[in-house]
Chains A and B, each alone.
Chain A
Amino acid sequence: MAIRLALPKGRLMAPVASILQKAEWGMEDYNEKSRQYRLKPSNRDDIVAKMFQEKDIPIQVAIGNYDIGICGFDWLTEYTVKYPSCALEILSDLGFGEGAIYAAAMPGTIKGEVITTQHDAVRIAGEYPNLAESLAFKIRLRHFAVYPLWGSADAYPPENADIILISRQSEEEVSTLGFESLGKIVDFRACLVVNTDSLRCKDMSGVLASIKANIAPSSAVPNNAEKRVTIGAMRQNVRHGSSSEPDMVRLALPDGHQQSHVRKILDAAGINIDDYPSASGNRRPKIALDGFFVKVIRPQDMPMQVASGDYDLAITGFDWLTDHLYQFPGSPVKRMLDLKYGWVRIVAVVANETPVSTTAELQQMLKTNKISCRIAAEYTNIADYYARANHFSPYRIVPTWGATEAFLPEDADLLIENTETGSTLVKNNLKIIDTLFESTACVIGNTHSNRSSLKSSRMANFVEMLRKALEKAS
């Protein structure tokens, strides 16, 4: 039986590719330009490999879809801190991809020598929610809330988070971002992990030896001795900064590829905004609207931020709003205006060889063959709702962080995915069996906010300006 490898995309790809090159497996396809997720070494017929987002690798190896994986110790810890009994073993520190996760805050906002006893929730945000919860337990926060983020954690303090967990090379880098490091949570490097059952039962010695022989001798083992994070009582007056003025409208604008679209709409509405998109990564562009405060964050994170009252308005995709509403049906967030760009369909997808063409047929096939349906999705709550609504029993949601189309057919039975033209799906030998809904970009707002009439009219005015610009353009 072939040995299954999960290899990382992104930052670790070049050094891992270099090891595999030295190992002479014939893995030339493993590079940034490759359009293939599945890799078959030309010189080894005992290996099959697939590329994943680094964050997906611990779970893929732990659930036994892959025997061996390479990922950062940060993502591994994020997984094992929540699931300490998972079937993962670390075999080797690979000596590259160095960094550390720091707990950070705006200078002066977190102060003191002993554990906090304040009654207001301490808000911890970041891409590592499990480590955030573990930190809260460790420093015995009396009351806390964890905001799991897709990214851009550095945009949150001080208004929308008190503490963030960020991954950086050094404490100096944390300071350069304008933060004070409260302490190091964990040092990390790339590491070689294996599934515990594979380690016990499967002969992988040839592959392991080949990798091991081509790792550069490591200079030092990462120092995981934790610097104790000490968090004291917070100064209340600095928590919300200037955006806490009662009439101020707090607006979240998207980072990433949506920025140019949003900029066009703002321009068309005659709303001037400086430094958006920003070449320097400025997260607080100045907008020429009285009483508006703008921040740039990930669109995926916006619905929860608006729901919790940290923002009043945001521009995001209807898909992410829907995912949020499936998780929190009573959420006060609603779509205020359809911006009619960024159209995609949210679809249910299976591999071409799966002999079904509708959801009903899939349900029947799962029932007949007594299969537990594995559903891979970035939209975990939409996927969960879809599985429940269609009476899949049993089913499992496999959360992913991108490149979801690579999961079929080996690592999932069904995807809940977005598509514009469907061409990527076709290219990956996949087919659509159901369209769940259509999604475009939209303005979302918090309908329950207890706000002044001035603020309400500012919000309504902003939505109206965008609406008129859209009508004019069409």
Chain B
Amino acid sequence: MPIAHCKGCMDLTAQEMQRFRSVEMAFLEMSKCFGYEEVRTPTLEYLHLFTSAGTLTQGMLRRVYSFLDWDGWSGERVVLKPDATIPVARLYVDRLQKMGNVARLCYVTNSFVFEETGTKSRERWQCGAELIGEGGELADAELISLACESVKRMGLTNIEIKLSHVGLIRGLLASLGIGQSDQDGVLGRILDGEENAFDGIQSDKPQSVDVLKLLFNTKGNSAGFVKNIRALFTEDDPDVADELNSFISIIEIVEAMGLPCQVDFTSGKGFEYYTGIIFRLYVDNVNVGGGGRYDKLIEMMGGTAAPAAGFALYIDRLSSRISVDNLALSSTERVSLKIVPDAVKLGTELADLLRRTGLIVVTSLGGQTYVDCGWEVEITSAQEFILTNLANKEKRSFKEAIDVVAELGIS
């Protein structure tokens, strides 16, 4: 009986890992160029880190993997981390904030969310970046730029950004004059991605409700769209005006970066901790990442209030788009080394020398030749080195290991 992998989980083969590492490396290299430093948070966290208001939505919380640990007799549950940003915020509060600096942090991590059918992965890998301690439109733009440049470095094109703004939605909802619990209800439905999130709103400002519906039902392609909305919105509310102006500034910056962007208020689902801009990144119309501003999370985690924003790139979706051709190693870089029992010392010495030059040396212990290699070296019992070019089967013999190295180095 073959042992199946766990439902909703997946293995990565060598080729899939090459794609994975290629995404990871592109992201980490680009993050380094932007001054971001890599961190890692644990897989297990206390459940309560994620349960308080303003962190994960109820829809997300219902799908976390939580359980009692081996020492959980107090009833305290732990969880396989369902989100990467909250643990990084905890790390910042716990270890970094006291240093007083702005933190530019990046990471590659997995997170776990139950998915009913088991056909999609319940373990998700992501590259993430968080900019904590800096606020404003330029900080938002830096993150959007890092996300886009990382994706470009992976060799992907046809990138599009979709923008939304939770602060603005909250401001608009507040201006409707409906109770806080109704506002939270509507926002929760929006963040959980429900259609008809505005049904049943009893507001004495039906015009404002109409503006909100218009925002959600229309997708704009420029800052002009939000300017139009600003013109339609008649309420004299300074908070809404500030949020609108901030949103327009960000859109203008993104436009100036030359990135195609769309204003889409339905694109902001998933997390309750966002307070300002939310952006989603698309490649060939597939959502490959997203992020946003979460200015209240650090304080909520017990730290001193600090502005913060971040994003995640979804590795599984990106790696499947990477071209394998770019990743395949040239066979000329691989050497198959046949070692016979009475030439083990000589064989290992030669392997060591060749590897130092950067070549990949696969030792052939059973006498077979590896087909994906460009070269084969055989050491005879007379301590001679026979070098074969596997492409044309041409053979040459050498007395010294260093001559083989020189020959392959020259090749």
| Residues of A in contact with B (beta carbons under 8 Å apart) | 84-85, 115, 117, 121, 123, 133-134, 136-138, 140-147, 228, 303-304, 307-309, 324, 327-331, 333, 370
- The listed residue (B1, B48, B70) touching A143 by CB distance below 8 A is B48
A137 and B58 contact, Cβ closer than 8 Å, known pairs A144-B51, A146-B75: yes
Q: A19 to chain B: closest CB distance in Å? A: 34
Question: What residues of A have a CB within 8 angstroms of the CB of B181 in the complex?
Answer: 228
Do B51 and A147 touch (CB < 8 A)? no
Q: List 23 A-B contacts (CB under 8 A).
A: A84-B116, A121-B74, A121-B75, A121-B76, A133-B66, A134-B62, A136-B51, A137-B61, A140-B51, A141-B52, A143-B51, A144-B48, A144-B51, A145-B74, A303-B73, A307-B73, A307-B74, A308-B74, A327-B73, A328-B70, A328-B71, A330-B70, A370-B1
A203→B260 CA distance, assembly (Å): 57
B53 within 8 A of A: yes
- Contact count A vs B, C-beta below 8 Å: 67
Question: What residues of B have a CB within 8 angstroms of the CB of A136 in the complex?
Answer: 51
Q: B253 to chain A: closest CB distance in Å? A: 35
A429→B121 CA distance, assembly (Å): 45
Do B52 and A117 touch (CB < 8 A)? yes
Q: Other than the known A329-B70, A330-B71, A370-B1, what 8 A-B pairs have Cβ atoms closer than 8 Å?
A: A121-B75, A136-B51, A137-B62, A138-B58, A142-B51, A228-B181, A307-B74, A327-B73
B72 within 8 A of A: yes
A145 and B76 contact, Cβ closer than 8 Å, known pairs A140-B53, A329-B70, A331-B71: yes
Do B75 and A147 touch (CB < 8 A)? yes
Question: What residues of B have a CB within 8 angstroms of the CB of A137 in the complex?
Answer: 51, 58, 61-62
Question: What residues of B have a CB within 8 angstroms of the CB of A330 in the complex?
Answer: 70-71
A200→B51 CA distance, assembly (Å): 38
Count of B interface residues, CB-CB < 8 Å = 20
Question: What residues of B have a CB within 8 angstroms of the CB of A304 in the complex?
Answer: 73, 75
A142→B75 CA distance, assembly (Å): 15
Question: What residues of A have a CB within 8 angstroms of the CB of B77 in the complex?
Answer: 133, 145-146
Most B CB contacts (10 A, CB to CB) among A137, A228, A333, A370 go to A137
Question: What residues of A have a CB within 8 angstroms of the CB of B232 in the complex?
Answer: none
A84→B59 CA distance, assembly (Å): 12
A329→B1 CA distance, assembly (Å): 33
B102 within 8 A of A: no
Question: What residues of B have a CB within 8 angstroms of the CB of A144 in the complex?
Answer: 48, 51
Question: What residues of A have a CB within 8 angstroms of the CB of B73 in the complex?
Answer: 303-304, 307-308, 324, 327-328, 331, 333
| Residues of B in contact with A (beta carbons under 8 Å apart) | 1, 48, 51-53, 58, 61-62, 66, 68, 70-77, 116, 181
Question: What residues of A have a CB within 8 angstroms of the CB of B116 in the complex?
Answer: 84-85
- The listed residue (B61, B62, B75) touching A308 by CB distance below 8 A is B75
Question: What residues of A have a CB within 8 angstroms of the CB of B75 in the complex?
Answer: 121, 123, 145-147, 304, 308
Do A327 and B68 touch (CB < 8 A)? yes
A333→B70 CA distance, assembly (Å): 14
Question: What residues of B have a CB within 8 angstroms of the CB of A307 in the complex?
Answer: 73-74
- The listed residue (B1, B51, B58, B66) touching A141 by CB distance below 8 A is B51
Q: B26 to chain A: closest CB distance in Å? A: 36
Residue of A nearest to B49 (CB): A143
Question: What residues of A have a CB within 8 angstroms of the CB of B61 in the complex?
Answer: 137
- Shortest Cβ-Cβ A-B pairs, 9 listed: A145-B75, A307-B73, A142-B52, A140-B53, A85-B116, A143-B48, A308-B74, A137-B61, A328-B73
A121→B77 CA distance, assembly (Å): 11
A142→B47 CA distance, assembly (Å): 10
Q: B396 to chain A: closest CB distance in Å? A: 54
Do B53 and A115 touch (CB < 8 A)? yes
Question: What residues of A have a CB within 8 angstroms of the CB of B70 in the complex?
Answer: 327-330
Question: What residues of A have a CB within 8 angstroms of the CB of B76 in the complex?
Answer: 121, 145
Question: What residues of B have a CB within 8 angstroms of the CB of A138 in the complex?
Answer: 58
Q: B64 to chain A: closest CB distance in Å? A: 9
A133→B58 CA distance, assembly (Å): 12
Q: A147 to chain B: closest CB distance in Å? A: 5
Residue of B nearest to A394 (CB): B3
Residue of B nearest to A370 (CB): B1
Q: A261 to chain B: closest CB distance in Å? A: 26
Residue of A nearest to B54 (CB): A140
Q: A146 to chain B: closest CB distance in Å? A: 5
A331→B53 CA distance, assembly (Å): 32
Q: B170 to chain A: closest CB distance in Å? A: 17
Question: What residues of A have a CB within 8 angstroms of the CB of B1 in the complex?
Answer: 370
Most A CB contacts (10 A, CB to CB) among B53, B58, B70, B73 go to B73
Residue of A nearest to B72 (CB): A328
Q: B52 to chain A: closest CB distance in Å? A: 4
A333→B74 CA distance, assembly (Å): 12
Do B68 and A121 touch (CB < 8 A)? no
Question: What residues of A have a CB within 8 angstroms of the CB of B53 in the complex?
Answer: 115, 140, 142
Q: B77 to chain A: closest CB distance in Å? A: 7
Q: B281 to chain A: closest CB distance in Å? A: 30
Question: What residues of B have a CB within 8 angstroms of the CB of A140 in the complex?
Answer: 51-53
Q: A353 to chain B: closest CB distance in Å? A: 24
A145→B74 CA distance, assembly (Å): 7
A254→B56 CA distance, assembly (Å): 41
Residue of B nearest to A330 (CB): B71
Do A84 and B62 touch (CB < 8 A)? yes
A214→B73 CA distance, assembly (Å): 47
Residue of B nearest to A115 (CB): B53
Residue of B nearest to A117 (CB): B52
A204→B53 CA distance, assembly (Å): 46
A309→B52 CA distance, assembly (Å): 25
Residue of B nearest to A132 (CB): B75
Q: A84 to chain B: closest CB distance in Å? A: 7
